Chain A
Amino acid sequence: MAMTDRLIYLDNAATTFPKPREVLDRMLQGYIEMGVSPGRGSYDLALEAEDFVQRARKQLALFFGAPDADRIIFAANATDALNIALNGLLQPGDHVISTRLEHNSVLRPLYHFRERGWISYDLVHFDDKGFVDPDEIGRLVKQNTRLVLVSHASNVLGTVQPVKEIGRVCAERGIPFIIDASQSAGKIPIDMTAWNISAVAFTGHKALFGPTGIGGLAVCPDLDIKPSRFGGTGVDSRSPIHTEAFPQRLEAGTINLIGIMGLSAGIDYIMQKGMASIHGEEMALLKRLRDGLSSLGHVEMYCAGDLSSHVAVLTANVGDVNPDDAGAIMDGDFNIAVRVGLHCAPLVHEDLGTINRGAIRFSPGIFNTPEDIDHAIRAMASMS
């Protein structure tokens, strides 16, 4: 089988690659012209940098339907944002409801808190199509339930969870509701206000087309997240106490300006191209992949029968081939990059029966072509 000259990158769920050229250009140019510390100095350029950061917060607030731009908190990535939220919210004796679809960015902090005897939690199962039932979440609510935390789109199955309905269930019971939007932000619209979402944890380097190292937490005013990291904020320097004012309350230290520049440019890119258009293109590629793999007798796909509530992620196994080896063959023989293993979401694989083996994850992006997908199908067909 002919090897292609260029890498066919089908690992966009890990990080989008390549980044749009205009995003990289704007990052570089912005940092050349304004790479100073925002919100600290009183010289004009520092004020301009701070003004840029505030505009980025407003841009993100609009993007997520968040009511208050000052409560757009910049973090290193979604894991960092989730840790800020969990450390600042949970108290000893609290109960949390989450799902078995979660990434380790949620599972490990929860496990850490539980092992220390601080919290208890329940994890809702997903059905054979890859979705959790909002009513099941409602049934698990206890008197001490402090938080419901759900991954908007599974990084293994690509299934988009019914967060609007889950938000309603939580709002009826007065329980804060946080979503992990790592796989959804930039692919499908999110409206925190309309959907009763208390906070959105997002990362910049996936479907928002920014660089690695930038992400954040969009927080509603009624969610009281205490600071869990303390330090310089550029505000009220004489006080030994970390400021209560947002956004600095949850941002200690100098923020990642070049990352914010990239994130802002990435969102502009999405708005210019159209989120629905991007999602539509990616899903057309995914459907082509799903249909092509379906025609191969020896490929097993997981929760890919109906793609109507999916993002462009498809996970499969091929015959008895170890997924590690399948990934190596795709890479070495076909110049195709896919992600194999457990995808940092071990409970999903436990429930799929692939915990001891793992699986191959395909996640096409807007820079892929139908020919790329056909090549991936041929690569899978070569393995038996």
Chain B
Amino acid sequence: MTAEEEREKLLADLGREARVVAGREIYFDWEGFFWDPNDWNEEVARILAKESGLEDLTEVHWKVLRFFREYYFYHGRAPMNRHLKEGARLSLGEIESLFPGGIRRGARRLAGLPNPKSCF
């Protein structure tokens, strides 16, 4: 097995899978989170939102998704709870209700941020 093949196997073992979305091949992890946040664009987000049961992304949805991305690329990590609340100008309860799957598996995933490290 070549080094590249070994790397691909390792990534597959970690649950990385490629899908074509909006004409682009994009890698996702085992929970549907982007492997690389740079693969995200608004069209991809719309398609993934529809798949999750969200027919239209309203301006409020976009406000949350854009905040997630701006914060992530500026700070190099996802916003803490209080920063998300302040930045999106919504309560976390409201954000949870806005997205199918809630904050983490809904909003954060649609914003293209990587899967957070948590106790799973």
Contact = CB atoms under 8 A, between A and B. Distances in A.
Contact of A322 (B81, B85, B93, B101): B101
Contacts of A340: 118-119
A321 B102 CA distance: 7
Contact of B104 (A325, A331, A382): A325
B104 A324 contact: yes
Contacts of A324: 102-105, 118
Contacts of A383: 93, 96
Contacts of B104: 322, 324-325, 328
A343 interface: yes
Contact of B96 (A321, A339, A343): A321
A344 interface: yes
Interface in A305-344: 321-322, 324-325, 328-329, 331-333, 339-344
A358 interface: yes
B119 A341 contact: yes
B84 interface: yes
A382 B93 CA distance: 8
Contacts of A329: 91-93, 96, 103
Contacts of B120: 341-342, 358
Nearest to B85: A332
Contacts of A332: 81-82, 84-85, 91-92
A322 B118 contact: no
B82 to A, nearest CB: 6
Contacts of B81: 328, 331-332
B88 to A, nearest CB: 10
Interface size class of B (residues with CB under 8 A): 10 to 19
B42 to A, nearest CB: 24
Interface in A175-197: none
Contacts of A382: 93
Interface in A269-326: 321-322, 324-325
B75 to A, nearest CB: 17
Contact of B85 (A333, A342, A358): A333
A332 B102 CA distance: 14
Interface in A69-121: none
A339 B119 CA distance: 9
Nearest to B104: A324
B119 A325 contact: no
Given A322-B101, A328-B81, A328-B104, A333 B119 contact: no
A324 B103 CA distance: 8
Residue of A322, A332, A342, A382 ringed by the most chain B CB atoms within 10 A: A332
A325 B96 contact: yes
Contact of A333 (B93, B101, B102, B118): B93
A339 B81 CA distance: 14
A322 B102 contact: yes
Given A325-B103, A341-B119, A358-B119, 15 more contacts: A322-B102, A322-B103, A322-B104, A324-B102, A324-B104, A325-B96, A328-B92, A328-B103, A331-B82, A331-B92, A332-B91, A333-B91, A340-B119, A341-B118, A342-B119
The 10 A-B residue pairs with the shortest CB-CB distance in the complex, in nearest-first order: A341-B119, A332-B81, A325-B102, A332-B92, A329-B92, A325-B103, A331-B81, A324-B104, A332-B85, A322-B102
11 contacts: A324-B105, A325-B96, A325-B103, A328-B84, A328-B96, A331-B92, A333-B93, A341-B118, A358-B119, A383-B93, A383-B96
